[in-house]
Amino acid sequence: MNTTGFVKYGGAVVALAILSACGGGSAGAPSTAALNVTYVGKTLSVNGRPVTAARLSPLPSYATIVPDRHAKSKTFEYVINDYGTYASIFDYPKSDQQIGSIAGDGGQGCTNVLYGYGKKIFWNVGGASQITEYRVPKKPIKTLSVPSSEMPSSCAMNTTGDLAVGILVGSNEGDIVIFKNASGSGTAMTTPLVEEYFDGYDNQGNLFADGFNSSDNFELVELPNGSSTFQAVTTSNTVKFPGSVQWDGTYLTVFDQLANATYQYTISGTKATLKGTVSLSGSSDCAQTWIVQGLVYCGDAGNGDGEVFNYPAGGSPIATFTGNFDFPLGVVAAKK
């Protein structure tokens, strides 16, 4: 496994004892110790670690892991829990029951497609030295890093294989670190944000990110393909709280964690025009969403589970994952 740093470009609820291998048996019961929950501005902090969720979940839930079915599965979904805990693995639509876990993970995920099921790999951003690439279903193959003073929050990949990692807080808070070809030393790009929550590329190679600006208001920003400078993008509607940024095959989408809705935009210059709204009924706080053809997955920090919705129809969940969850912060999907 490789470990790298980056150069600057100007311009935990509680860790759990979880089975490290997939298969039969029971996962350790999550701790119900008191949580230290605070807000710094609009940013939620759990046990001293800022997180990208808008709300706190109920107490962690758990269940017995069913027998391993990896050998027969082709697609996998990962509900990624609090920093330093674990990712819960599913093989929907075969089943909505958990089939395994990856110990030590947490935070958000992304993969090597703009939307849909990733091709053979996915990334987890869980800490400064825990930017890890996995081969499906759970083999770690590479680790990148940012300085230990940084708390990375998000990731996205373009069609040429570059990896963009956002910094939530730290000495370079609000930056996005771009790892060319998802390797080597990252280059930190300054954005207008003071806290970066989510990022995503569109089909033209433009990189978008959202978070809070210096006035503690939501802001969407863009790094146009080929540019070295991020610019603010004005949305035609009001977004209450930053959520996932993802291309859906037609539109750039931004999820609003407080409205429980995905906003579909067309982008022209520095303006984002709302073209559609996909509301998710029954969700409490999709801390991250991941869109595949016909579906959207939700890692629900508010309900403390994972959910599946029709996309772009939205509405009520068509499935709710059953398994181990400890303050879900991320979700991603990939195939062998």
Please give, one letter per residue, the 3-state secondary structure of the chain.
CCCCCEEEECCCCCCCCCCCCCCCEECCCCCCCCCCEEEECCEEEECCEECCCCCCCCCCECCEECCCCHHHCCEEEEEECCCCCEEEEECCCCCCECCEEEECCCCEEECCCCCCCEECEEEEECCCCCEEEEECCCEEEEEECCCCCCEEEEEEECCCCCEEEEEEECCCCCCEEEEHHHCCCEEEECCCCCEEEEEEECCCCCEEEEEECCCCCEEEEEECCCCCCCEEEEECCCCCCCCCEEECCCCEEEEECCCCEEEEEEEECCEEEEEEEEEECCCCCEEEEEEECCEEEEEECCCCEEEEEECCCEEEEEEECECCECCCCEEEEEEC
Average pLDDT over residues 262-276: 98
pLDDT in the model for residue 54: 81
User: What value does the mean pLDDT of the chain take?
Assistant: 87
Tens digit of each residue's pLDDT (9 = 90 or more) over 299-326: 999 999 999 999 999 999 999 999 999 9
Domain ranges of the chain: 6-11+34-335
Tens digit of each residue's pLDDT (9 = 90 or more) over 200-212: 999 999 999 999 9
66: pLDDT strictly greater than 70: no
Tens digit of each residue's pLDDT (9 = 90 or more) over 195-245: 999 999 999 999 999 999 999 999 999 999 999 999 999 999 999 999 999
| Long-range CB contacts for residues 124-128, cutoff 8 Å, separation at least 24 | 124/78, 124/80, 124/87, 124/330, 125/152, 125/153, 125/154, 125/155, 125/165, 126/80, 126/83, 126/84, 127/83, 127/84, 127/151, 127/152, 128/152
Q: How confident is the model at residue 35 (pLDDT cuts 50, 70, 90)?
A: low
175: pLDDT strictly greater than 90: yes
pTM of structure: 0.86
94: pLDDT strictly greater than 50: yes
68: pLDDT strictly greater than 60: no
Q: How confident is the model at residue 57 (pLDDT cuts 50, 70, 90)?
A: low
6-11+34-335 under CATH 2.120.10.30, yes or no: yes
pLDDT in the model for residue 129: 93
Q: How confident is the model at residue 46 (pLDDT cuts 50, 70, 90)?
A: confident
67: pLDDT strictly greater than 80: no
Q: End-to-end CA distance of the chain, in Å?
A: 21
60: pLDDT strictly greater than 60: no
Tens digit of each residue's pLDDT (9 = 90 or more) over 100-127: 999 999 999 999 999 999 999 999 999 9
